[in-house]
Structure 1
Amino acid sequence: ITPSHAGAMAGYQRTKNLEAVLRLVDQGLEYEEDLEIEAALSSFEQALALDPVWQPALDGLVRVKATSIKIEFDTRMTEGFESIAAGDYFAARAAFRVAQQLIPSSTEPADGLLQVDQGLHLKDINTLEREAQALEMDEHWDAVVQTYEELLKVDATLSFAREGLQRAREMSALHARLDKLIEEPDRLSVPSVMQDATTLLVGITIRPDVGPRLTEQRDELSRLLKRAATPLTVPLVSDNVTDVTIYRIGRLGNFMRKEVNLRPGTYVAVGSRPGFRDVRREFRVAPEIEMQPVVVQCEEQI
């Protein structure tokens, strides 16, 4: 195996890890069968840490996550119907709302909410107000929006409901922005995105009403901004006759081996050589992955 051949080295690493991956997948399947969800998740995640493309581990992780959501969904639905039986319509509505967010495609929560409405007969403003306050405390802002909208259907003149609806919509949009930034951490290396994220972070920091969920998102975004601002050393290998350029970085010229410092993100290296077909290599830079040498060599004659 040529040490500089990234594909061969990756295949060798997968083969070396195969026994451990198989053991972890088997372990995960046993945990899954026993409905030990957290243990199963851990086993499949450990297997994927060793081999990120091992399909049985990927399938197992998706399956167990779906099972976890279904268990939580069933628990919330049970809580909702038990609350209806006990006459606690406030708790029932909150349970069905959470179930609705867990599996939006299911019609069961809507059926449960209909039973709540039928049980209440007339929507009680005080009950809905307490519900909105409880959901605000838990930072379930999408559900808060729905609750205030229901209040305004009962009485469009309620000033506290109008103010609450505006506040809830703003918070829902804020959480959505944070989620998008956190889910796509490599984009934070783009200067404009980093600037927007930093401004957003400063705004959250000076807020007087930062709850646990917002605090967690704020801290995670802060960590990811530090990650995005920290360059990593990337080894490049060529043949001293190929002219190498990295898009958004610049021309590197001819070399046998070179190291460049790049911030986390996805890059494209292009090689050109007179009389040879250009080559294009896309690669990702991230502290969570072990960087293999990026080989850029024009080898196919025209």
Structure 2
Amino acid sequence: MTLPPSSSIGLTPTPASRARLTSLRRRGRALPRLRRTARQILTTRVDATSYGDACDRIQAWAEARRSCYVVAANVHVVMTAYQNPNYQAIVDRAALVTPDGMPLVWGLRWLGIKGQSRVYGPDLMLAWCQRAAQVGLPIYLYGGTEATLGKLNLYLQQHFPGLIIAGTHAPSFRPLSPAEIAEDADRIRQSGARVVFVGLGCPKQEQWMHSQLGQVKAVMIGVGAAFSFFSGEVSQAPRWMMNLGLEWLYRLSQEPGRLWRRYLVNNPMFILLFGLQLLREKFLGDR
């Protein structure tokens, strides 16, 4: 496997990267959530970051055994948050919100973050697995089915020699009882994992991560369909379509029954609302 060009930059800790890690560690127990550059897109804070910066932050939090989570935000996440105050509060609690979708990358650029690139959840997963294999921090895979996890486990072990996969678990698709939720958290704690990849899809994965704050002493990262992609069960859009912001069209062609509302209703609504936001900021200076 060859990592995408965008995700292969800054994965191995460099002198500058190590200095940033030292700075992050010296900040004490408070999570550095709002101290980085960020912009508000509709009602959601989206952080200006990169694969290297995100991996540095994840490493610092993982080494400190902090309980926190990362949201990879796309239009679906932003629109769900805009329409649901409870979900908005969950996204607001994230230690890091990455621009997962190209519309959010363009949005950050239009809002003054020049040169912002995409930090796509599945690519961030690969980037962190490469880093984790180098620094020896164990990961955990939570989500999907047992068959999916078996294929994903094999894929990651083949492509990242030295990666420690501390455990995997495929929770039931039905709502879990409090006892089952507690059992899952205990299983993850006992594994010793420092980073937990969560593949439950939006909004379920963000809701689960938020519910586990303080229970799971690890960095939780929601990666959506990454488990299905890397297990080979679902194909990813060609890279050129991703770069043009057309991944939604490819995925819609694959799963029209499940995704039509997400893309054909939410996408036009996002364009309208964000267009109005840009006009307000341009003419009223309202940011």
TM-score tier after normalising by the smaller chain length: under 0.3
TM-score by length of 2: 0.24
Rg comparison, structure with higher value: 1
Please identify which structure carries the higher helix content.
1
TM-score by length of 1: 0.23
Q: Which has the higher contact order (CA 8 A, sep 6+)?
A: 2
